[in-house]
Amino acid sequence: MDRLAAMAARYQAPKGTFDVLPAEEAARALVAEHAGRLLDAAGHGRIETPALEETEVFARGVGASTDIVSKEMFSFTDRGGRGLTLRPEGTAPICRAYIEHGMHKDPQPVKLWYAGPFFRAESPQRGRYRQFNQIGAEVIGTDSPLADAELIVLLDELLRGLGIADLELRLGSLGSPEARAAYRDELRDYLREHEAELSDDVRARLDSNPMRAFDSDHEGTRAVIGAAPTMLERLEADDAEHFAAVRALLDAAGVPYRLDPTLVRGLDYYTRTIFSFVCDRLGAQSEIGGGGRYDGLIGQLGGPDTPAIGWAAGTERILLALDEEVAMPGMDLFIAVAEDRQRAKAVALAGELRHAGISVEIDLAGRSIKGQMKQADRVRAARTLILDEGDSARLRDMATGEERRVEPSEVLELIRPG
Ligand code: AMP
């Protein structure tokens, strides 16, 4: 919002939230249509879950120690004493729905997609909000590397198809929770041996999060971590084989990626493949979309053990990366009247034409005929029907200025789309 206007406004949208004004809707609609078309065409069915879930859907006891779960959720107790949370992400609610509706009895895998608002109490900055929108896809009920590759190809197509350039796909594998736990212990022991060379920050978090050392820009820490063992080197045989298969499929599909042995994701339920599409132009919040396998999550939520994989992309970050003005489509027709007594006729005709699928605006502000013609230009009407005095009418092509006499009753035939 304009700074002066913001100072004058008594109420403002809550911290980290924003209004989407009509002029900004066209770009959003473009992204939503592109994503919907792509995911429908790949055989994913759209699912909608509530904006609220029982808090336990996200905070599942086991390993629920990620920042998102521990401090970034908007949680409250309702009047019935139930703990509820505004959904911070889409995967856990979809797994809840998969179990609740017995989707494991359907032919597997179940392929879904979703789009909608999500909520995290993060500190806001460019590309990071407290209410934001995600488009996401899930493939539930198969551990085939084909599902990993197909989903990654879809996200690649979603982003590139919109014209987002300079994207980098980072790819890694976390293996099984057991291998990961063993690796963390090994890494912690290794870092302890080099404790004196590490930054204070990394040393303070050695116990809780040794992986943090990978993100450090402290010189000594970087030297130590450069020689550290990586998770990819510690994958168990079947996880390593699975990862090799995913990579071979991506190579065959011609999707370039960079192996990132240090890749981690914000949520703790991931296993095996994880990936992230990054666009450096976006600055600090450079990830546009990402995801991974979550083979243990449905089991943790009380369902049958079911392997699954998914991703989510942030609509606002897509729009930042597109950085393009998308114009609202203009009107098919504006109806202008020379005399006030024709206004009722304009209302009736506009209704009839809209019913036939034509976009029509009429003057609602009592403008003169000259003012109405200006308004027709402002709404970028392709044509204007001018109801003249004495019940004659003209249809004006607004691009060429050409006019022809018409009967109002034949307008529909003359401008019928297609
Ligand atoms: P995540 O659910 O954390 O795996 O994030 C998936 C995608 O959602 C990210 O790549 C971002 O594009 C988007 N995203 C996550 N958190 C936010 C946020 N606070 N504000 C805006 N977009 C976000």
- Each residue of 232-280: pLDDT tens digit? 999 999 999 999 999 999 999 999 999 998 887 777 788 999 999 999 8
Mean pLDDT of all residues belonging to the chain:
92
* Residue 365 confidence (pLDDT): 96
The pLDDT assigned to 260 comes to 92
pLDDT (average), residues 209-222: 87
Q: Token match 């703790």: residue?
A: 268
d(Cα 6, Cα 8) in Å, to the nearest integer? Answer: 5
* Ligand 1 pocket mutation, candidates 66, 317, 319, 322, criterion most atoms within 8 A of CB: 317
Lowest mean pLDDT among 242-246, 264-268, 310-314, 340-344: 264-268
Going by CA atoms, what residue is nearest to atom 17 of ligand 1? Answer: 128
User: What confidence category does residue 8 fall into, taking pLDDT thresholds of 50, 70 and 90?
Assistant: confident
Q: Ligand 1 centroid to 241 CA: how many Å?
A: 30
Two structure tokens written together for 230: 């990586």
Instruction: Calculate how far, in angstroms, residue 391's C-alpha sits from the geometric centre of ligand 1.
Output: 58
Amino acid identity for residue 314 in this structure: G
* 170, containing H or E segment: strand 168-173
Q: Is 143 left (phi over 0), alpha (psi -120 to 50) or beta?
A: alpha
Structure confidence by residue, pLDDT tens digits, 187-205: 999 999 999 999 998 898 8
At 65, is the pLDDT very low, low, confident or very high (cuts 50, 70, 90)?
Answer: low
Tokens of 28: 């959003």
Alpha-carbon span 73 to 301, nearest angstrom: 18
- The rounded distance, in Å, linking the Cα atoms of 111 and 58 is 21
Contacts of residue 315, defined as CB under 8 A and 6 or more positions apart, other chains included, come to: 28, 31, 32, 115, 132, 133, 134, 135
- The pLDDT confidence band at residue 2, using thresholds 50, 70 and 90, is low
Average pLDDT over residues 26-34: 95
Query: Cβ–Cβ contacts within 10 Å for residue 170, how many?
Result: 17
Q: Among the atoms of ligand 1, which is closest to the Cα of residue 287? A: 10
Contact 260, 173 (CB under 8 A): no
Give the binding-site residues of ligand 1, using a 6 Å CB cut-off.
Answer: 89, 120, 122, 127-129, 132, 134, 265-266, 287-290, 312-314, 316-317
pLDDT of residue 3: 67
Whole-structure pTM value: 0.89
Q: In angstroms, what CA-CA distances link 368 with 220, 282, 325? A: 75, 48, 32
Whole-number Å distance, alpha carbon 204 to ligand 1 midpoint, is: 27
